[in-house]
Amino acid sequence: MVRKAQSTHVYDVILEPADEGGYTAYVPALRGCVSEGDTEEEALENIKDAIALWLGSWEQVERENAAVVRRVVVIR
């Protein structure tokens, strides 16, 4: 079995209190990457799983569409 090398990704996560209780977590850099939890800690753990799934989905899109990802740096 060939294993892909792991890499580290760092994202800002926004936590908002949910109207029904608990917290909603989302990642502005990853459109549609949202999760929730009853506590801040649970929401953060859940968003980590959501990020991993989001990134896995993007890798599939890259393969199917020959999409290219480039990193840019903007200094203000």
pLDDT grade for 76, boundaries at 50, 70 and 90: confident
Summarize pLDDT for 5-63 with one digit per residue, the tens.
677 888 899 999 999 999 999 999 888 999 999 999 999 999 999 998 888 887 666 66
Nearest-angstrom CA–CA distance, 59 and 67? 9
Query: Is the pLDDT confidence value at 64 over 70?
Result: no
Query: Which residue range is the domain that position 56 belongs to?
Result: 1-76
The CATH number of the domain holding residue 25 is 3.30.160.250
Structural domain tally of the chain?
A: 1
pTM exceeds cut of 0.85: no
